[in-house]
Amino acid sequence: MPASALMNVMIGAARKAGRSLARDFGEVEHLQVSVKGPANFVTAADLRAEEIIFAELSRARPGYGFLMEERGEIKGPDGTHRWIVDPLDGTTNFLHSIPIFAISIALERDGELVAGLIYNPVMNETFTAEKGQGAFLNDKRIRVAARTELATSVIGTGIPHSGRPGHERFLGEVETVMGTSAGVRRTGSAALDLAWTAAGRFDGFWENNLHPWDMAAGIVMVKEAGGYVTDTNGKDKIFETGGIVAGNETIHLKLLKLLKAANASAASPAKAG
Ligand code: IPD
Ligand code: CA
Ligand code: CA
Ligand code: CA
């Protein structure tokens, strides 16, 4: 299916920023790095990519608002549209020359996510989705995996650094999911975790304490690939809570139940005592 005018704008911005990231990735040892918090880095590569995406999207759709990881919220005169952008998801991988990172761009219209793009320039993989139009990897239609048993499922997740909120909770959850599934994987890019779930590489994904820019494009992607995405209570408060659970209908439900059980047993007096 040919890409829409909107998706061509998103692809154009992502490819241009992707060329900048690829150049910086080749010279990563010379990059300027600042530390925002525990295991939380920002590099000149993040900032350069964000600048390009901001310029390209502003030129193509003047007046739209932005929510970007490094620049924060930028209101536009157009009150109905907002781009949600992570210019480099997987900065820690990037800094270690691990080629698993992505640009994530989503568009919100009247508060509803209507389009998402996740681009890994090193693997040359462009994941795109628009509401009602399906999800694609480099023009090929993708769907969530069909497996329904956790015992044969591979589940993606992200590990909050020990200095960040949610670390203890995660340890209980991952122990339970590891004991129940065929394996747990951590790529270091939540955007790619969701894109890979949409493409059926992962059967499911969960993580806590994420930001809207980590998840926005991936939410559209998983839904358009036929999957289910909610917060960790099975509700739609994903951005508010920062928690996300994704998969096909069955795996999504099983993961929700499993995480609930893990947290209940962690909180029970028997375990605590
Ligand atoms: C990070 C990645 C990672 C997730 C972290 C995020 P960044 O984003 O998505 O997978 O576990 O919580 O902060 O900082 O590399 O854009
Ligand atoms: Ca970051
Ligand atoms: Ca991110
Ligand atoms: Ca980032």
CA-to-CA distance for 60 and 93, rounded, in angstroms? Answer: 31
pLDDT score of 269 more than 60: no
Q: What is the pLDDT of residues 67-93, one digit of tens each?
A: 999 999 999 999 999 999 999 999 999
Query: Side chain identity at 260, as an amino acid letter?
Result: K
Is residue 170 within 8 A of residue 160, CB to CB? The reply is yes
Residue 271's pLDDT band (cuts 50, 70, 90)? very low
CA-to-CA distance for 231 and 174, rounded, in angstroms? Answer: 17
Fold agreement (5-142, 150-267):
no
Q: What is the pLDDT of residues 160-194, one digit of tens each?
A: 888 777 888 899 999 999 999 999 999 999 999 99
Which of 174, 189, 206 to mutate to test ligand 1, by most ligand atoms within 8 A of the CB atom? 189
Is residue 203 within 8 A of residue 178, CB to CB? The reply is no
Q: What is the pLDDT of residues 212-243, one digit of tens each?
A: 999 999 999 999 999 999 999 999 999 999 99
Q: Which residues hold their Cβ within 5 A of ligand 4, which is an ion?
A: 69, 86, 88
**Which residue has the least CA distance to atom 2 on ligand 1?**
189
For the chain, domain boundaries: 5-142, 150-267
pLDDT score of 256 more than 80: yes
Regarding the domain with residue range 5-142, which homologous superfamily does it belong to in the CATH classification?
Fructose-1,6-Bisphosphatase, subunit A, domain 1 (3.30.540.10)
Closest ligand 1 atom number to CA of residue 159: 11
CA-to-CA distance for 181 and 159, rounded, in angstroms? Answer: 17
Using a pLDDT cut of 90, give the percent of the chain over it: 89
214 annotated among ligand-binding-site residues: yes
46 annotated among ligand-binding-site residues: no
| CATH code for the part of the protein at 150-267 | 3.40.190.80
- CB-based contacts of 114, cutoff 8 Å, min separation 6: 107, 108, 130, 131, 220
Q: When comparing pLDDT for 272 and 17, which is higher?
A: 17
ipTM: 0.98
Residues 113-138 have a mean pLDDT of 98
**Which residue has the least CA distance to atom 13 on ligand 1?**
210
β-partners of residue 117 are 105, 128
- pLDDT of the residue at 49: 98
Is residue 73 within 8 A of residue 65, CB to CB? The reply is yes
Cα(90) to ligand 1 centroid in Å equals: 6
Using a pLDDT cut of 70, give the percent of the chain over it: 98
Compute the mean pLDDT over every residue in the chain, rounded to the nearest whole number.
Answer: 95
Residues 19-25 have a mean pLDDT of 98
Residue 270's pLDDT band (cuts 50, 70, 90)? low
Residue 36's pLDDT band (cuts 50, 70, 90)? confident
From the CA of 186, the nearest ligand is 1
